[in-house]
Structure 1
Amino acid sequence: MIFTSDNAFGVAPEILEALGRVNGGGAASYGEDEITKGLQNRFSDVFERDVAVFPVATGTAANSLALATLTPPYGAILCHEVAHVNVDECGAPEMFSGGAKLIGIGGSGGKINSDALVTRLESLGQKGVHQVQPRCLTITQSNEAGGIYSLEELRRLTGIARDFDLKVHMDGARFANALVSLGCSPAEMTWKLGVDVLSFGATKNGAMAAEAVVFFDPALVGDFEFRRKRAGHLFSKMRFLSVQLEAYLKNDLWLKNARHANAAAKRMADGLKAIEGIELVSEVAANEVFAMKTMKTLVALTMLSTLGLSGAAYAAGDAKTACRADYEKLCKDTQPGGGRIMKCLKANEDQLSQPCKDAMAGAEEKMMEKKEQGGMGEGQ
């Protein structure tokens, strides 16, 4: 069972089928094929306006190239302090922009605090050539802490950006998950609120390796295509990226997958709430679950991680769980009457450390007590 990340799971069958289909015969290279060209109209339909869309293979490329297009080397990009662009992209935004500075803003639940943003912006750029100039605000939706900005929260942040003459970028690695949670249209969550450029994610929601940079104002594209080429993301066989996005949008597969993942996360959260020693850090808003564990519970989950329950013990503090289809196995085994986990541990007892063996022995003792008291049935 794998619960580490939505990156760890497989590819949607519909997308795999599309990749196989496009593999027959040949097609024009470097994005001149009909599938890639057709994405312009398809994305324009989805977002209810003319857009310019450019496929790339990774979220880091999408974010970094988009931000570099919006921000000069002497510019500042404001983001949440734990934003993926700030802590998980190895300096790629800074490199591709030629030196732009990322400035982290605090806020609970992974959301940028609007008052803190205003305060920081008021102090930036006041020293002229001696200081970086604020040029862009980037917002993650849904965000790195599993939270989702409401439309009003987005409107507030984009309004501040406009007041300070900033462009707005949205990191939409989990865009579909946020969209179905809010129940709004793609347009209502982006350009209608003032978002200029979107990193449209698909890999975390069923694609093999496909993201897209979407410009809501084609005039902002500027030198983006040159930047994409220099970054190595102008694929010669671009149709293999583009067909993933085509299949992703077809018959609303992207929305169906997101609804399923969100529902799975909610069900897993409900199961975790019932386990003594586990407390949810926040309510589940999309497809991520964050939980705090007591040390005793952490020992047990770490033990399970070594036996194939990948992601059970993500870290000593928080546990991050991105749900997938096999979440049902965990939920079933954590309900009264579930005994498969204990049987797995017993079968691999020789691999366990002494603290883990002690924890398991204590659990067995409690199970026997409940059984003697009539609280458990046979085979548990």
Structure 2
Amino acid sequence: MFFASDNSGPAHPSVMNAVMRANEGFRFGYGADEEMARVTTMVRDLFEAPEAAVYLAATGTAANSIALATLTKPWETIFCTKPSHINEDECNAPEFYSGAKLTLVGDDNCKMTAATLRTALDAEETRGVHGPQRGPVSITQVTEKGTVYTLDEIKAVTGIAREFGVSTHLDGARFANAIVTLGCTPAEMTWKAGVDCVSFGGTKNGLMGVEAVIFFDPKHAWEFELRRKRGGHLFSKHRYLSAQMEAYLTDNLWHELATSANTSGKRLADGLRAHNDVSFPNEPEANLMFFEMPRGLHKKVQAAGAQYYVMGSLDGNDDEPVLGRLVCDWSVGSDGVDAFLAALNA
């Protein structure tokens, strides 16, 4: 009953087998491996973007931060919501790599809107040389609260960004989960919706540790390569990253694993929804959810072996509502969900 994070689940056996195969013999280093050549073609095909520049990084923080640094000048500001991952969970890495600042945009249900973005963009470039200049917009999909931008919501945000002449980055650590929720294609959720750059996550969805950075305009390619190297994120034995991503893209494994995680998330949310003492501050839409229930119930399910984050102390009045977070990874399955619900309802 482990629901603390989809970072905590195992890598899929197909991924481990691919790494073992890549371990045989010799390969050129630094991304010149034969696996990476295949990955580039596979990503371009998946995103229907034959000219896209495709790169790999080992962490989501590196992928997001170096991508944003490539899109941003040091005197510019990056627009994101307060609960975005790049603001709350990356220890100022985007600022460190780009030299720019973050400007926090108002959100609705954890999502940036066209109206809140316009307000934020209007407020900048009002002080000439004395203030920050407008830089890229960054949205998180799935959001940190478990909500999902619809295609129309993404288009509305990117439309405002284009109006002001700035690019849009999509932080897709849970990209596959959002695709499953929306029932769309990767192209429809990215460049067809106006997104210029995406971090295509794999670590939270069954990989050991790989994220792809995709620029739909290859003019950014060389600068990203230089920044990745300068930032210490160009792997010499790059084949082990490539092998993971190749396995992920083979036979739509990425989609299969996200479907498994989302299915478990829905089963879990439906079970919680049926309990009178449980409520959701945001309606769950993928594999991540926040929920409130009495402290005493948190104690009971955790005593039964459930592991997840509680946003508050377990000391105090057992009847007081306390916020918790549950995340389903690809491997949880119905047994893990049913065990949690059985402990809750016991």
Q: Scaled by the length of structure 1, what TM-score is found?
A: 0.84
Partners of 1:265 and 1:332 in 2: how far apart? 11
Q: 1:170 to 1:334 in 2, by over 3 A?
A: closer
- 1:56 is aligned to 57
Pick aligned residue for 1:322 from 315, 322, 327? 327
1:221 aligns with 2:221: yes
Q: Report SS of the residue matched to 1:119.
A: helix
CA distance in 2, matches of 1:248, 1:194: 25
Amino acid paired to 1:322: V
Instruction: Give 3-state SS (helix, strand or coil) of 1:26's partner.
Output: coil
Which residue of structure 1 aligns with residue 317 of structure 2?
Answer: none
Indicate conservation of the 8 Å contact 1:269/1:280, yes or no.
Answer: no
> Does the aligned pair in 2 maintain the 1:280–1:292 contact within 8 Å?
yes
Q: Give the distance between the partners of 1:209 and 1:230, measured in 2 at CA.
A: 20
Give the distance between the partners of 2:105 and 2:45, measured in 1 at CA.
34
Gaps of 5+ in 1: 343-362, 368-380
Question: Could you tell me which amino acid in structure 1 is paired with residue 127 of structure 2?
Answer: K
* CA gap 1:178/1:22 in 2 versus in 1, 3 angstroms: same
Give the partner amino acid of 1:320.
R
d(CA) in 2 for partners of 1:17, 1:143: 31
Higher RCO structure (Cα 8 Å, ≥6 apart) = 2
Q: Which amino acid aligns with 1:143?
A: T
Could you say if the C-alpha distance between residues 39 and 312 of structure 1 is closer, same or farther in structure 2, counting changes exceeding 3 Å?
A: closer
Moved over 6 A (4+): none
Look up the match of 2:318. none
The DSSP-based 3-state class of the residue aligned with 2:255 is helix
Question: CA separation of 1:93/1:334 partners in 2, compared to 1, >3 Å: closer, same or farther?
Answer: closer
The one-letter amino acid of 1:9's match is: G
Whether the 8 Å contact between 2:113 and 2:153 is mirrored in structure 1 is: no
Distance 1:171 1:333 in 2: 32
- Assess, with a 3 A threshold, how the Cα gap between structure 1 residues 14 and 315 changes in structure 2: closer, same or farther: farther
Q: Which amino acid aligns with 1:3?
A: F
Q: Which runs of 5+ in 2 are unaligned?
A: 314-321
Aligned partners of 2:104, 2:333: CA distance in 1, in Å? 34
Within-5 A mapping of 1:122-137: 122-137=122-137
* TM-score between both structures, scaled by the size of structure 2: 0.92
Q: Tell me whether 1:332 sits opposite 2:333 in the alignment.
A: no
Structure 2 residue matching 1:221: 3-state secondary structure: helix
Matched residues in 1 for 2:332 and 2:122: separation? 49
Partner of 2:308: 311
Report the Cα distance in structure 2 between the residues aligned to 1:256 and 1:314, rounded to whole angstroms. Answer: 31
Structure 1 pair 153–293 and aligned structure 2 pair: CA distance change class (3 A): same
Are the equivalent residues in 1 in contact too, given 2:306–2:340 (CA < 8 A)? no
Q: How much identity, in percent, do the aligned residues show?
A: 44
> Which entry has the higher C-alpha Rg, 1 or 2?
1
CA offsets 1:72-105 (integer angstroms, 9 cap, x no match) = 111000001110100110010001012x010111
Which residue of structure 1 aligns with residue 316 of structure 2?
A: none
Query: What is residue 68 of structure 1 aligned with on the other side?
Result: 69
Q: CA deviation at 1:272?
A: 1.3
CA RMSD of aligned residues (A): 1.8
> Could you tell me how far 1:331 is from its partner in structure 2?
4.1
Measure how far apart 1:300 and its partner are: 3.1
In structure 2, do the counterparts of structure 1 residues 270 and 312 end up closer, same or farther at CA, with 3 Å as the change threshold?
farther
**1:355 corresponds to:** none
Determine the C-alpha separation between the residues in 2 that align with 1:326 and 1:89: 26
SS in 2 for 1:148: coil
Q: Tell me how far 1:236 sits from its aligned partner.
A: 0.6
User: How many equivalent pairs are there?
Assistant: 336
Q: Secondary structure at the match of 2:25?
A: coil
**Cα distance between partner residues in 2 of 1:27 and 1:46:** 25
What is the distance in 2 between the residues matched to 1:175 and 1:58? 14
Return the alpha-carbon distance in structure 2 between the equivalents of residues 219 and 235 of structure 1.
22
Q: Could you list the per-position Cα deviations for residues 17-46 of structure 1 after superposition, in whole angstroms to 9, with x for gaps in the alignment?
A: 101111111111111111112222111111
| Aligned 8 A contact 2:264 2:332 in 1 | no
Bigger drift between 235-244 and 104-113 goes to 104-113
Report the secondary structure of 1:280's partner residue.
coil
